Structure 1
Amino acid sequence: MIQQKHQKFYFYSLFFGEFARTLPHAVLTIILVNKGIALDQIALIQMFYMIAVIITELPSGFISDIYNRKIVYISSIIIAMIAYGIIFVASSLKMLALAWFIYGASSALHSGTLDVSFTQLYQNNAKQLQRFIAQMRILLSTAAMIGGFIGGKIFSHIDNSLYLVSLIFYFIALFITIIYIPDQQSNKNDSKQSTSFIEIKENLLKILQSPILLSVFILIGLIQLFLQPFYLYWQVIFLNNHGTINMLGVVYILFRISNIMGSWFFKHIEQKISHMIPLLIGIIIIIITFLIKTNIYIIIIQFILIIIVTTIYNNQLEYILRKTVNPKVLGTIHAISNTISRLFSLTILYITSIFIKTINIETTLFLLTTTFATLSLFILYRNQNQIKKE
C-alpha cells in the first residue's frame, strides 16, 4: 500500500522520467530535419501525438481508477521507451508519425496514476495537498530545464544518440518505480472488480452532474487561450522586440525558472477563490503591455511576470480539482479534464492560425488572453460561493 514515505521515490522516478523525456526537446526540430522531415511534416507528426492523447486519455484514466495505478504508470514509461527507440532508428515520415502516436499514448497513460494515489493520502489535509502539487510542479520544471539544457549542449557531440541517453534515464525511472514503490491493494477477483466498476460508475455519474466541476473543466480549458499562442509564438514576440536568436536558449531557461517560482509562490499562499480574481486582472494588465514595443530586457520581465502569474493560477485550478473530487474516480476525472483541455487546444490553435493571417502576433495574443481572463472572471465571480462550499 502506498504511504507518505514512498513519495520521495515517486519524485525520484518522476524526475528521471521527465529528464529523459525532455532531453531531446531543445533540439527536436533539428533532429527531425536531419532525418529528412520537412517543416510542414513536423506539424503533421505533432498532430499524431495530439490525436493519440485525445483517444487514449479517458480510457487510461478509467483503467487507472479500476485497476493498479502503479502498473499503468510503469506501462507509460515502457511505452515511452518504445516510442523513443523507434525515433532513434526511424527516418521515414510514417514511422516517425507512429512513434509520436505511441509517445502520445504514453503521455495519456502517465497522467492520473501515482499522483492520484498521493492525492488520496493528502486530500483531507489542504496544506499537504497544496505542498504536494507545488513540489511536483517544481520538480517537473527543474527536470525539464536541466534535461533541455544538457540535451542542447551534448547534441552536437552525439547527435541522434541523444535518444539512447534518454532510454537509460527512462530505465532508471522504471527501476525505481518497480523496486521502491509498492503495489496498491487491488481487487483480484471478478466480483470485487465488478463491484469496483459499479461504484466508480456511480461516483463518476454523480460527480459529472456537478455544475462546479463543469465550471472547473471550462476554466482549465479557457487558460489554453493564453498558453497555446504564447508558447507557440513567444520567440517571434521576443525577436520583434530586438531580441536575438542566440538568446532564445537563455530565455527558455528563464521560462522554466519562472514556472518554478510560480509553483513556489503557490505553495506558500493560502488557497482562496478570491485570490484567483486579482491574478486574472494581473494577467490582463501584463498582456496589455505586450502591445507596446520595447527592448529585450523589458520583454523578458514581461515574460517572467506573466508565466509566474499564470503558473500560480493554473496550480490553483489543479488544486481545486484534486481537492473536490472523490479520489476513487480522480484518475478518470483528470483524464476527462485533460481531454477537454486538448480539444480546447486544437480549437484555439486553429483560431490562432486564422487570426495571425490578418493581425500581428502581439494583438492576437492580447485578444485571446483577455478573452480567457474575462470569461474566467465571470465564471469565478458567478460560482465562487459554490466552489468555496465544495
Structure 2
Amino acid sequence: MTNLLINKNNKSYFSSFFLYNTARVLPHAVLTVILLDKGMTIGEIAIIQSFFMVAGLLFELPSGLLTDSWSEKRMYQLSLVLLAISYLIIMMSYNFYILCFSWFIYGISNAAISGSLEAYFVRRLTNDERKIKAFNIKYNNVNIYSTLLGGGVGSVIYSYFSDNLYVVSLVMIAVSFLIISLGFKDSKTEFSERPTLKDSLKDMKNLKNNNQLMIFIFSLALFQIILQLFFQFWQVMFLDKNFGKEYFGIIYILFQLMAILSNYIFERVNLKNKHLILIVSLSGLLILAICLTNKWLFVATIILFLIPFNLYNNQLIVDIQQQASVKNVSAIMSLAGTIGSVVAMLFLWSMGFLNKFYSFNVITIIIILFFMLLSLLLIASKRWRNV
C-alpha cells in the first residue's frame, strides 16, 4: 500500500470519525436528564444502559474476528447504520422496554466500530510502540475535540428543541457515512493479506501464553467500573451537590478540556510503568470528591481526578495494541471490550439492585475501593510473573 493512499485514508477516516463522534455524543451531556424526562428512575436508567453492555458482551468479540477476516471499512459503515437506528428509536420512544432495545442496538453499533478502522491503521504500525502512541494521541485529539463540540452544542440544542437534537445527530451520521464510503479506499492486495477466521481463532487460543497482554486486557476491563461509574452517573453526582441542569453543558465542556490537557501530558510523559500511581491517584481523588460537601471543592477535585483517569485509560490501550499480534489487532481489542462489557454490565446491574437499599454515595465508595483493590492485585501479579 502506498503512503499516498494511507494518507488519503487517514484524512477520510478522521474526518468521518469526527462527524460520527460529534453525532454520537450530542445527547450525552444531558442523557440522564433525557431519560429522567421520559419518566425513567435512576434504577431503570442503570438497567437500560446495561443493555449496551449486554450487546457488547454478545457481539464485540465476533465483530473483531469478522473485521480481521472481512473488512474494517464495512464494519465501520455497519456501525453508523446501527447507531442511526438506535438514535431514531430513542428519539421516538418513552417506553422502558423499547429504550432497553434501543440501547442494545447502540451496543451492537459500538461493538462493530470497536477495533475497525482504528485497527486498520494500528495494524500497519507493526507493534512499534512510539508510532502506536503517536497514532493514539492523534486519535484522542479528534475524539476529544468532537466530544467537546458535540457535548457543548447538544446541551444547547436540547434546551430549545428537546428530543429533536437526535435529528441533528442523524444528519451528521449520514454525512459521516458518505465521507467514509467515498473517501476511504482499500489497496488491491488488501483482501488477500487477511487471515482467515480459523487462523484468527487459533491465534486467540494462544493468548494465554502472553501473560503481560492478558494482565493489560483485564486491567482495562476492570477500569470499566470507574469509567461507567463516572460517565453514566456524573450528572447524578452533580445534582447531589446542588448543581442545576443548566450547568451540565459547561461541566461537560470542562471534562473535555481536561481530556485535552491529559492527552498533552500523555504525549510528553512516559507512563509505561506508572500504573500503580495512576490507579491510587484516580481512586483516591474520586472518593474524596464524593465525600466533600463544598460544591466548588467537589468540582476542583473532580477536575484533578480526570487527569490520572484519562492517562490510565490511554496507557492501557497503547499497552494492549503494542502487545497484540499485528494480524489480529481487531480481535484482541474486541476481546478486551468483551471482558470489559461483562464487568460494566455487572456493575450497572449491581447499581440498579443496590440503589434500592443504600445511598448512591455509599455504593460508589465501596465500588471504587473494590476497583482499586483488584487493579492493584493485577499489578502485583504482573510484577510477580516478571521476577
Normalized against structure 2, the TM-score is what?
0.87
Separation in 1, partners of 2:293, 2:39? 36
Summarize the alignment of residues 234-383 of structure 1 with structure 2, pairs less than 5 Å apart. Answer: 234-241=234-241, 243-273=243-273, 275-290=274-289, 292-353=291-352, 360-383=359-382
What SS class does the counterpart of residue 182 from structure 1 fall into?
coil
Give the residue type in structure 1 aligned to 2:247: M
Residue 62 to residue 361, structure 1, CA distance change in 2 (3 Å): same
Give the residue type in structure 2 aligned to 1:377: L
* Equivalent pair of 2:32/2:235 in contact (CA under 8 Å): no
Deviation at 1:118, TM superposition (A): 0.9
1:25 corresponds in structure 2 to 28
Structure 1 residues 174-203: Cα deviation after superposition (integer angstroms, max 9, x where no partner): 121112211254446xxx97x623332332
Identical-pair percentage: 27
Residue 268 to residue 323, structure 1, CA distance change in 2 (3 Å): same
Range moving further from structure 2, 147-156 or 81-90: 81-90
Structure 1 residues 10-55: Cα deviation after superposition (integer angstroms, max 9, x where no partner): 1111110011112233344555566x65446555543433322222
Separation in 1, partners of 2:381, 2:35? 47
Structure 1 residues 290-333: Cα deviation after superposition (integer angstroms, max 9, x where no partner): 36434222111110111110110111111110000012111111
Residue 52 in structure 1 maps to residue 55 in structure 2: yes
Residue 180 in structure 1 maps to residue 183 in structure 2: yes
Separation in 1, partners of 2:228, 2:214? 21
1:212 corresponds in structure 2 to 212
Separation in 2, partners of 1:46, 1:278? 31
1:82 corresponds in structure 2 to 85
Separation in 2, partners of 1:22, 1:250? 15
Equivalences, count:
382
Separation in 1, partners of 2:258, 2:310? 8
Deviation at 1:57, TM superposition (A): 1.1
Give the residue type in structure 1 aligned to 2:267: K
Residue 139 in structure 1 maps to residue 138 in structure 2: no
* Equivalent pair of 1:283/1:373 in contact (CA under 8 Å): no
Range moving further from structure 2, 304-313 or 18-27: 18-27
* Equivalent pair of 2:47/2:349 in contact (CA under 8 Å): no
Deviation at 1:91, TM superposition (A): 5.5
Residue 70 in structure 1 maps to residue 98 in structure 2: no
What SS class does the counterpart of residue 60 from structure 1 fall into?
helix
* Equivalent pair of 2:282/2:306 in contact (CA under 8 Å): no
* Equivalent pair of 1:72/1:109 in contact (CA under 8 Å): yes
Give the residue type in structure 1 aligned to 2:344: S
Range moving further from structure 2, 172-181 or 354-363: 354-363
Summarize the alignment of residues 53-202 of structure 1 with structure 2, pairs less than 5 Å apart. Answer: 53-90=56-93, 95-183=98-186, 185-187=189-191, 196-202=196-202
Range moving further from structure 2, 80-89 or 168-177: 80-89
* Equivalent pair of 1:57/1:335 in contact (CA under 8 Å): yes
What SS class does the counterpart of residue 160 from structure 1 fall into?
helix
* Equivalent pair of 1:24/1:152 in contact (CA under 8 Å): yes
Deviation at 1:254, TM superposition (A): 1.4
Residue 4 to residue 373, structure 1, CA distance change in 2 (3 Å): farther
Residue 254 to residue 341, structure 1, CA distance change in 2 (3 Å): same
Give the residue type in structure 1 aligned to 2:206: K
* Equivalent pair of 1:58/1:336 in contact (CA under 8 Å): yes
Give the residue type in structure 2 aligned to 1:258: M
Give the residue type in structure 2 aligned to 1:104: G
Deviation at 1:63, TM superposition (A): 0.5
Higher relative contact order by CA 8 Å / sep ≥ 6: 1 or 2? 2
* Equivalent pair of 1:61/1:332 in contact (CA under 8 Å): yes
What SS class does the counterpart of residue 379 from structure 2 fall into?
helix
Residue 159 to residue 365, structure 1, CA distance change in 2 (3 Å): closer
Deviation at 1:94, TM superposition (A): 5.3
Range moving further from structure 2, 329-338 or 154-163: 154-163
* Equivalent pair of 1:226/1:365 in contact (CA under 8 Å): no
Deviation at 1:77, TM superposition (A): 1.0
1:3 corresponds in structure 2 to 6
Separation in 2, partners of 1:387, 1:6? 40
Residue 345 to residue 382, structure 1, CA distance change in 2 (3 Å): same
Separation in 2, partners of 1:251, 1:241? 13
Structure 1 residues 191-221: Cα deviation after superposition (integer angstroms, max 9, x where no partner): x97x623332332222244222321222112
Separation in 1, partners of 2:32, 2:234? 16
- Aligned-CA RMSD value: 2.9
* Equivalent pair of 1:230/1:365 in contact (CA under 8 Å): no
* Equivalent pair of 2:40/2:96 in contact (CA under 8 Å): no
Separation in 1, partners of 2:100, 2:315? 35
Separation in 2, partners of 1:182, 1:158? 38
* Equivalent pair of 2:127/2:326 in contact (CA under 8 Å): no
Range moving further from structure 2, 7-16 or 221-230: 221-230
* Equivalent pair of 1:233/1:361 in contact (CA under 8 Å): no
Q: Which 5+ residue runs of structure 1 have no aligned equivalent?
A: none
What SS class does the counterpart of residue 124 from structure 2 fall into?
helix
Separation in 2, partners of 1:41, 1:277? 35
Separation in 2, partners of 1:376, 1:81? 36
Separation in 2, partners of 1:253, 1:139? 15
Separation in 2, partners of 1:291, 1:94? 32
Range moving further from structure 2, 131-140 or 280-289: 280-289
